[in-house]
Each structure stands twice: as structure tokens, then as C-alpha cells.
Amino acid sequence: MRKLASDALDQLTLGATLLGTGGGGDPFIAKLMVQQAIEDFGPIDIVDLDELDDSAQLVTVAVVGAPTVIIEKVPSGREFTDAVRALASYMGRKIDAIMPVEVGGMNTLIPLAVAAELGVPCVDADGMRRAFPQIEMTTFTLGGLTSSPMSLADEKGNRVAFETTTNLMGEKLVRGSAMMLGLANALASYPMTVAQAKTAAISGSMQYCSDVGGLLRDVQRQEENAWDRFLEFTEGRIIFEGKIIDVDRRTTTGFARGTVTIEDFADPTRTMRIEIQNELLLAIEDGRPVVTPPDLICMLDFETADPITTETIAYGQRVRILGLPCADEWKRGAWLDVVGPAAFGYDVDYVPLKG
């Protein structure tokens, strides 16, 4: 077990913003929530799965909605603990620890604040090690775990708990409910035991996120060989550098969707198109897929190396695009059916960033 104090939040937040692949909501808002929680309840306990009893009850908690809405409709914080308490009441069982459903964006940090308020530890594991737009897109699904029963809560005190026959149906019901409740809501889902999490979760993902944030901070400080260290650790590569020349972005069917086009600095005939569904999902150059899900597309400001979220993409921005390989835990079973290009409606084959 280790303690998370306020001085570690900047590095974790930076990593979370990058691994959010443009989506997941602005982690800065969630960082303020965690800072307040630490002030109110003290440093937060972070535990590995091996430190908990196999029968301990875990639940994931997250914000669900569209990043374009979340940036304007700031969470109150109350809705997240409400969602967990509603799920615990529905299950008739005490929650022993909180776990992130994804390590990317706001949902890396919100579970920390919830764990602090509920007086339980937060588990260093998740179901994505990045952000994805739909709740069934997890390694938990690949591991045969169900996302329900689950609960949804809004900032006004409305709460609903329900069960579904499949995780995909769970996504549909949650999305429809969230649209009626304002598209910036709290979701508690994937109740599981520690024993189940050991077979399906990505362990150490929060530590990985913090390490990535530290290496990116070195890049921002222009330390010697910082880019080399970052790319070696993440096994990533720089896939494009240029200026944004077109942005098409809209909020529809419960998601922030759109397309961004980038023109190469040196050769204006060379362009890259990136498709958006909350996150940056598909990068295409000259009609050829370059990065495909579940691998990560990360957009950074060219001068400062600050990660850029989809809701802040703007015409004229000078950007650097990174491709990072997904966690190895994804590549099992019918993983391409869950998070491959076809799962998002793209008629392209998966193009691996590493062998």
C-alpha cells in the first residue's frame, strides 16, 4: 500500500491527459476534486490487487457523457459517491475498494476522490489503460465479467440502478439515460471481486500513468534525451507533425464526434485525418490507416508538448501526433470485436504499432 498526496497529482494528471487520447474529460477538473478530497480526508491509500483479500468487493466509478458537455457542465462531486452508494444498496453488499474503469482523462482521478470520501482504498488497476467512449470496451468484457448491476447518478440527486443481459446493452441504456440526465453523469459499474479482477484487469495502470506523466514532464522541460526516454518507455513513435487546417466537431447521439485534418509543416500536399468519437480513434494518411484502435493516438502542442483534448482542438494549432501501442492485456480472445476498428464502425483492418 502507498499513500497518494497532493504533490503527486501534477504528474498523474499529465499522464492521465495524455492517455485520455483526447477524450475522457478534462483531468484538471478532477484534479481539483482530488486535491479537495486530500485536504478533507488526508492522503489516499493506493493498493495493488495482491494486497486485498480475493473475496473483497470492488466497483468502478467514472464520469459518463461527452467531453464537450463536461467542460461546461462541471461535476459537483456528490454524484459519484451517490452512484457508488446506490449500487451498494442495490447489491446489498459493502464496497471494499474503488477501481478506475479507465486510466485516461478524468476517470483516472475521480475514483481517487471517491475512495477518499468513502474511506476505502483505490486499486492500482483498470480495464483499458487508456480512454474509450463506450463502457463495454474493457478488458473486463474480454475476461467475461459483466458491467451490471450498475447505477447512474446526476448532480441533482437523481439515481437509477439496473441490470442488463450484455455489456453492450448496458452501454446503450447508460447512454440513453445519460442523454436525458444532461450528458455529464456519474456511473458505478463492473462490480467484481478481487479474484475476478486478477484475471481481467490491467494491473499497475495508475503507476504506469504516473510514470508516463513524469517522462512527458521531462519532455516539456526540454531535458536531454527526454523524447528518447519517453518513446522507449511507451514503445511509441511520432507519426505526424503539422498544423490543423480543418475541424469538424459536433455532439450527437451522446458522443462528441468529428474529424480533424492536419497539414504537414514541410509538405502541404501531405495531410493526416483523425476521426473522433470522444477520443482520437483513427489516424489516416493518404487514405492509409496509420494508427487504429485499440492503439493510442495522442495529440500534443508542438511547442509545449501539452496534451490537447478533443474539445479544445482549434484551427491553426501546431501539433505533434504520437502513436502508442495498447496494453498487452488487450490482445486476447475476441478483442478486435470489442475494440478493433469495426467496433467503432470503421471499415479498415487493425494496423499494429508493434509486433
**Confidence band for 192, pLDDT divided at 50, 70 and 90:** very high
Asked whether the predicted pLDDT for residue 93 surpasses 90, the reply is yes
> Given this model, what pLDDT does residue 208 score?
98
- H helices within the chain, ranges in order? 9-19, 27-41, 67-70, 78-91, 110-118, 139-142, 167-181, 194-200, 205-220, 226-234, 335-339
> Given this model, what pLDDT does residue 177 score?
86
Mean per-residue pLDDT for 195-212?
98
Comparing C-alpha atoms, which of 56, 81, 65 is closest to residue 25? 65
> Given this model, what pLDDT does residue 354 score?
72
**Tens of pLDDT along 111-138?**
999 999 999 999 999 999 999 989 999 9
Beta bridge partners of 249: 258
> Given this model, what pLDDT does residue 181 score?
79
Pairing mode of beta strands 237-252, 318-324: antiparallel
> Given this model, what pLDDT does residue 27 score?
84
Task: Determine the Cα–Cα distance for residues 291 and 283; give it in Å rounded to an integer.
Answer: 5
The domain ranges of the chain are: 2-205, 233-344
Name the CATH superfamily for 2-205: CV3147-like domain (3.40.1610.10)
> Given this model, what pLDDT does residue 67 score?
62
Buried b (16+ CB within 10 A) or exposed e, 182-194: ebbbbbbbbbbbb
**Confidence band for 98, pLDDT divided at 50, 70 and 90:** very high
**Confidence band for 83, pLDDT divided at 50, 70 and 90:** very high
Asked whether the predicted pLDDT for residue 17 surpasses 80, the reply is yes
Q: Range with the lowest mean pLDDT among 20-24, 220-224, 269-273?
A: 20-24
| Global pTM value | 0.93
Asked whether the predicted pLDDT for residue 355 surpasses 60, the reply is no
- For the chain, what is the mean pLDDT? 93
Q: To the nearest whole percent, how much of the chain has pLDDT over 90?
A: 81
Task: Determine the Cα–Cα distance for residues 191 and 222; give it in Å rounded to an integer.
Answer: 43
Beta bridge partners of 351: none
74 against 49, higher pLDDT: 49
The three-point CA angle 57-198-47 to 5° equals 65
Fold of domain 233-344: CV3147-like (2.40.390)
